[in-house]
Amino acid sequence: MADLFTVLTPREAWSRLEPHLHPIDRVETVPTSESLGRVLAEDTSAPVDLPHFARSSMDGYAVRAEDTHGATEGLPAYLKVAGEVSMGQPAGVRLSPGEAALIHTGGMLPEGADAVVMVENTRGVDAAMIEAVRPVAKGENVIRVGEDMARGEALLSRGSLLRPQDIGSLLSLGITRVPVFHRVRVALIPTGDELVPPETDPGPGQIRNTNAFALAALAAKAGAVPVVLDIVRDSYESLQAAARQALETADIVVFSGGSSVSTRDMTSRVIDSLGKPGVLVHGVSLRPGKPTILAAVGRQPAFGLPGNPASSMVTFGIFVTPAIYRLSGCRRLPQSLAVKARLARNIPSAAGREDYVPVKLEEKGGDLLADPVFGKSNFLFAMVRGDGVARVPLDKGGMMAGEWVEVTLF
């Protein structure tokens, strides 16, 4: 329980947490066609040459390149049509000097041929004869054996987040099953005496438990499997019991709620009671989200997020989402999480604190503009009206219209 009441910068806070984030090592094998968004657990390389036969990259005529040398519109090369290469079959033709074979894009180059003349550069003379009006070089319009991928060549490395093109490339090499890391499981523990389930009408002083579900959706967006536990009342024993249950079933534990100082302290005492190293950070210089707890119990990270709905989402985005990617074995965060945009209006802030401000994004004159959504006390509804949250860096006492900001998409 180090430096419990020292507020750290977001970067310092992350650097205290980071050494405790270990990729989960549970691996399963799934069909490649169903591996979208999964993280590859092993380096892969090509088990075969691709293509495994020389293919035409054009519609045209397979030829011996030397037979076309010097061919022009005025002085074409006359070639005897020896046949046609059918798609999906061995090229059932063998070219002798002075011969050509009709071939389609992707067709197998017949024996004796070493290039393809595009159909646009040929003229039919009769059924048995064509003119080539341009020369081709050896290998022109031909994809050589192993030219796309040579057998043994490295394809995707361990830690790749699998995308559609990765799936296509694996399948093209006959890799129909892939080893991937298990999805990261995130337990969300809603805490607070004032909470009721969303389907219950809250009485005086009560509110609906919504944070845990919004955070579960954020976890799902990051590729994790969220589990929302039952609401836990503000008592040390029940919080500790819920935390123990969560640590048994999940990789990451998130306490959501507990806005008041006494509840936050209880969360932090409970985390410390569960194992080393315990609480690493208690308080971060950001707004919203100052009363954030970062912790680890053994190899399992644990987070105590503020009870305010928007604060909990912002701090989840700053700390829990990158932690999920780290545990998932993913080598780097996907590019789609943030964009750069120009501020449409000034944003006030205070130096020494990172501020997160909901913004609407709009394309204007080729630039992406970020227009702050001000107004209501409840930042959650500003996030509903906005597209993302702009970051005002720690060292800025505010930002001016026209400055570039980083916008995390929510």
- Closest approach of Cβ 312 to a copy of itself, in Å? 9
- Closest approach of Cβ 357 to a copy of itself, in Å? 14
| Residue positions counted in the chain | 410
Residues 308, 259 contacting (CB under 8 angstroms): yes
Q: Which is nearer to a copy of itself, 76 or 306 (CB)?
A: 306
Q: Which is nearer to a copy of itself, 92 or 348 (CB)?
A: 92
- Closest approach of Cβ 160 to a copy of itself, in Å? 9
- Closest approach of Cβ 310 to a copy of itself, in Å? 8
At residue 337, what are phi and psi to the nearest 5 degrees?
-80, -20
- Closest approach of Cβ 171 to a copy of itself, in Å? 4
Alpha helices in 130-286 (DSSP H): 164-172, 211-221, 236-249, 261-274
Residue 77 has which token pair?
Answer: 């090369």
| Helix/strand/coil for 240 | helix
- Closest approach of Cβ 144 to a copy of itself, in Å? 9
Q: Which is nearer to a copy of itself, 302 or 314 (CB)?
A: 314
Q: Which is nearer to a copy of itself, 122 or 278 (CB)?
A: 122
Q: Which is nearer to a copy of itself, 168 or 348 (CB)?
A: 168
Count of beta carbons in the 10 Å neighbourhood of residue 189: 26
- Closest approach of Cβ 207 to a copy of itself, in Å? 7
Q: Which is nearer to a copy of itself, 199 or 395 (CB)?
A: 199
- Closest approach of Cβ 279 to a copy of itself, in Å? 20
Hey, CA dihedral for 397, 403, 409, 410, is it positive or negative?
A: positive
Nearest to 108 by CA among 51, 174, 168, 173: 51
With a CB cutoff of 8 Å and minimum separation 6, the contacts of 108 are: 53, 54, 55, 56, 85, 89, 90, 91
Q: Which is nearer to a copy of itself, 258 or 278 (CB)?
A: 258
Q: What is the DSSP pairing of strand 142-143 with strand 207-208? A: unpaired
Nearest to 279 by CA among 289, 290, 270: 270
Residues 79, 132 contacting (CB under 8 angstroms): yes
- Edge-to-edge order in the sheet of strand 77-84: 115-118, 60-63, 99-103, 77-84, 129-132, 122-126
Q: Which is nearer to a copy of itself, 2 or 30 (CB)?
A: 30
